[in-house]
């Protein structure tokens, strides 16, 4: 099996906390290196303490074992540091459809304009922040003033 | 003992001890959103500490043939006098104002430190700093907003901020006093001397205090205490903290999730 095929298989691995996204959508699957019968999978965490990482490691191991690959090393890479800009366009669309606002693109960190573009439910731009922190480290909590629904925002990071 | 390992362990201990203190608020926050906020900050800090502990454990294992040290050994099997965190961070949570102020002081310190460590000649330290600084920037933002909200809030919240300052200020000077492992880190280019952060730290803290209507802070040498967390001389609080945090590994050695 070559690198592309393995990456293809690994694209099935889901983020346990946002199960509509795969590790490829999130941009946390960084690389696969094959040396002989050893397969090294490089992943990077979204946040340092992301509890999903341990589950993701297990899932990668299990999935590759199912495809007959037993000799697997999973390496955590910290640099370059993950940014929400690495989320794919497909990932962003899936996230919005799931009811979570997609992260603002990168300039936000410099401009300080880290906020969702619109409400993922009714698409109104009339929104306000409830809390800088949401149900997981990667999310903040917002409210739509028009449809009055609260919603999660995947933070620009 | 290897001084560079001590330096890395110091970085790890700071993050772990404050992370643990913050986690004590989980389920007890004044409102749900802020309970979640502090729990998430705790998670970031514990995550950062794990990265530093793994680095230190790898280094110590390499330096000591025949000995394998894990991140868990460092977090769970050391005693009070082996911890290298600032005394500031082990202080009890007190009320919300004290918890906020401690977080604010440390986040600004940690932000300035990581900014310098991005250029560390020790690639793994630079990488962890690159990862962590993005989280820390957010902690600075959140805690600064709270300092303003409390300082410039009601007479009661203002008074509580003043009380918190009274309680925490004696522990500020330690942040900037170098010890042996700082000198080693600076000499090898792995780290920096903390006194170089002092001026900007006070500027940034006072900038927020100004918007919060709180009196400005100045560096007072007379605040210097005989305690030095970086040398393993801690306040009484740390023992109680470790007793709880390490209970499981002490009672059931080697247990795993």
pLDDT, tens digit, for every residue of B136-179?
Answer: 999 999 999 999 999 999 999 999 999 999 999 999 999 999 99
Task: Give pLDDT, residue B224.
Answer: 57
Kindly state the average pLDDT of the residues A74-78: 95
Peptide bond into A80 cis (omega under 30): yes
pLDDT at A110 > cutoff 80: no
Nearest-angstrom CA–CA distance, B74 and B85: 13
Neighbours of A44 (CB within 10 A): 23
Name the minimum distance, in Å, from the CA of A1 to any CA of chain B: 32
* Minimal-distance CA residue of chain A relative to B126: A79
Helix (H) or strand (E) holding B52: helix B32-63
* Minimal-distance CA residue of chain A relative to B257: A54
* Minimal-distance CA residue of chain A relative to B52: A48
Task: Give pLDDT, residue B63.
Answer: 95
Name the minimum distance, in Å, from the CA of A131 to any CA of chain B: 6
Q: Do A48 and B36 touch (CB under 8 A)?
A: no
Q: pLDDT digits over A113-132, tens only?
A: 788 999 999 999 999 999 99
> In this complex, which of A80, A83, A131 lies closest to B33 when CB atoms are compared?
A131
> In this complex, which of B37, B43, B131 lies closest to A131 when CB atoms are compared?
B37
Name the minimum distance, in Å, from the CA of B56 to any CA of chain A: 16
Does the global pTM surpass 0.90? yes
B254 — alpha (psi -120 to 50), left (phi > 0) or beta?
left
Query: Taking an 8 Å Cβ-Cβ cutoff, which residues of chain B contact chain A?
Result: 19, 33-34, 36-37, 40-48, 50-51, 123-124, 126-128, 130-132, 134-135, 137-138, 141-142, 145
Task: Give pLDDT, residue A107.
Answer: 66
What ipTM was reported for this prediction?
0.90
Nearest C-alpha neighbor of B106 from the set B234, B35, B221, B204:
B204
Helices B180-188 and B3-23: crossing angle in degrees, nearest 10, is 120
Nearest-angstrom CA–CA distance, B3 and B5: 5
Nearest-angstrom CA–CA distance, B10 and A145: 46
In chain B, what residues touch A134 (CB-CB under 8 Å)? 36
* pLDDT lower than 70: segments of chain B: 221-225
Confidence of residue A112 (pLDDT cuts 50, 70, 90): low
Q: Do B131 and A48 touch (CB under 8 A)?
A: yes
Nearest-angstrom CA–CA distance, B155 and A79: 46
Task: Give pLDDT, residue B225.
Answer: 67
Q: Pairing mode, if any, of strands A38-43 and A72-76?
A: parallel
Q: pLDDT digits over A3-14, tens only?
A: 999 999 999 999
Q: Which single residue is written with the structure tokens 């901020």?
A: B161
> In this complex, which of A49, A109, A130 lies closest to B46 when CB atoms are compared?
A49
Nearest-angstrom CA–CA distance, B74 and B56: 9
Using DSSP's 3-state secondary structure scheme, residue B83 falls into: coil
Peptide bond into A137 cis (omega under 30): no
Q: Do A133 and B40 touch (CB under 8 A)?
A: yes
Task: Give pLDDT, residue A9.
Answer: 96
Nearest-angstrom CA–CA distance, A20 and A34: 28
Taking the Cβ of residue A129 and every Cβ of chain B, the question of whether any pair is shorter than 8 Å is answered with: no
Task: Give pLDDT, residue A94.
Answer: 96
């Amino acid at each position: 099996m070559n690198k592309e095929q393995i990456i293809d298989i690994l694209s099935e691995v889901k983020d346990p906390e946002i199960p509509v996204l795969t590790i490829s959508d999130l941009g946390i699957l960084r690389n696969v290196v094959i040396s002989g019968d050893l397969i090294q999978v490089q992943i990077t965490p979204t946040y340092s303490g992301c509890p999903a990482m341990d589950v993701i490691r297990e899932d990668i191991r299990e999935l590759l074992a199912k495809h007959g690959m037993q000799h697997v090393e999973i390496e955590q890479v910290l640099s370059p540091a993950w940014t929400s800009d690495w989320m794919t366009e497909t990932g962003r669309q899936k996230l919005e459809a799931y009811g979570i606002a997609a992260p603002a693109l990168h300039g936000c960190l410099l401009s300080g304009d880290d906020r969702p573009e619109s409400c993922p439910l009714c698409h109104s731009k009339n929104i306000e922040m409830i809390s800088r922190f949401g149900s997981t480290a990667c999310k903040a909590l917002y409210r739509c003033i028009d449809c009055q629904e609260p919603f999660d925002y995947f933070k620009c990071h | 003992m290897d001084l560079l390992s001590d330096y890395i362990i110091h970085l790890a201990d700071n993050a772990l001890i404050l992370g643990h203190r913050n986690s004590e608020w989980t389920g007890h926050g004044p409102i749900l959103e802020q309970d979640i906020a502090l729990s998430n900050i705790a998670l970031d800090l514990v995550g950062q500490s794990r990265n530093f502990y793994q680095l230190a454990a790898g280094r110590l294992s390499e330096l000591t043939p025949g000995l394998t040290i894990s991140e868990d050994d460092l977090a769970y099997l050391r005693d009070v006098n082996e911890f290298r965190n600032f005394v500031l961070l082990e202080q009890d949570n007190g009320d919300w104002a004290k918890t906020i102020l401690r977080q604010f002081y440390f986040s600004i310190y940690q932000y300035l430190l990581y900014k310098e460590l991005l250029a560390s000649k020790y690639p793994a330290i630079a990488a962890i700093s690159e990862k962590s600084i993005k989280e820390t920037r957010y902690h600075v933002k959140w805690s600064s907003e709270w300092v303003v909200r409390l300082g410039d809030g009601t007479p009661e919240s203002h008074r509580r901020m003043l009380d918190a300052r009274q309680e925490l200020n004696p522990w500020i000077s330690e942040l900037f006093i170098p010890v042996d492992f700082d000198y080693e880190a600076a000499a090898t280019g792995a780290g920096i001397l903390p006194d170089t952060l002092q001026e900007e730290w006070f500027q940034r803290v006072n900038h927020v205090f100004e918007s919060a209507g709180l009196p400005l802070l100045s560096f007072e040498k007379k605040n210097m205490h005989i305690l030095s967390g970086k040398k393993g001389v801690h306040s009484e609080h740390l023992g109680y903290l470790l007793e709880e945090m390490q209970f499981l590994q002490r009672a059931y050695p080697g247990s795993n999730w």
